[in-house]
Structure 1
Amino acid sequence: MGYVVRATWTATEESVDAVRSALAALGPASREEPGCRHWIAHQDPAAPLVFELFEVYDDADAYRAHQESAHFQRHAVPTIPLLASRERRFSETLDL
């Protein structure tokens, strides 16, 4: 099974460029992590302050390692306080 993280980052008018830049830097480095199976971010054209992240890791430990990584600490940690809101939902893939 895979550990799935679906996150919604809602920027403010003032932080939207910083959020986009942080995600642009975070994505390539995250996809290189050994436990990361999939990492994609997208922006809603109808609500450009809303960014959705879809991530799949081998397990919860791989996700924890992601959060402790140097690139997460460098790009995500300083950006999160700039957000208007942040929501995360966790689930597991079904091996059907």
Structure 2
Amino acid sequence: MAFVCSATWTAKPGEEETVRDALAQLSPAAREEPGNLYYQAYQSPEEPTVFRIFEVYTDKDDFTAHVNSEHFARWGVGQAIPALENNEHETYQTLDF
């Protein structure tokens, strides 16, 4: 069963480009991780401060490795997260029917 994370990042006013740039660096690196099945970031056209990231990994351990990766530390923790007003995420386990 795959492990899914749906994150919503809301940038502080004026920090949209900071978050967008971080995601531009983080996304391709995350897609190259072992166990990554899908990684896609979105920016809301109606609310440009709102970014959504949809991630699918083979299992929770692979997702944990992503969170502990050097590129997440640099672009996520080091650049994007300090520019956020709000950071929410939900995780799911897929049902293999």
What is the match of residue 88 of structure 1?
89
- Quick one: which amino acid aligns to residue 6 of structure 1? S
How many aligned residue pairs are there? 96
For residues 34 and 93 of structure 2, the distance between their equivalents in structure 1, rounded to whole angstroms, comes to 18
Identify unmatched segments of 5+ residues in structure 1: none
Q: How does 1:33-48 map to 2 (within 5 A)?
A: 33-48=33-48
1:13 deviates by 1.8
Deviation beyond 3 Å, 4+ runs, structure 1? none
> Kindly, what percent of the aligned residue pairs are identical?
48
- Quick one: which amino acid aligns to residue 50 of structure 2? V
Identify unmatched segments of 5+ residues in structure 2: none
1:7 aligns with 2:7: yes
For residues 95 and 68 of structure 1, the distance between their equivalents in structure 2, rounded to whole angstroms, comes to 27
TM-score normalized by the length of structure 1: 0.96
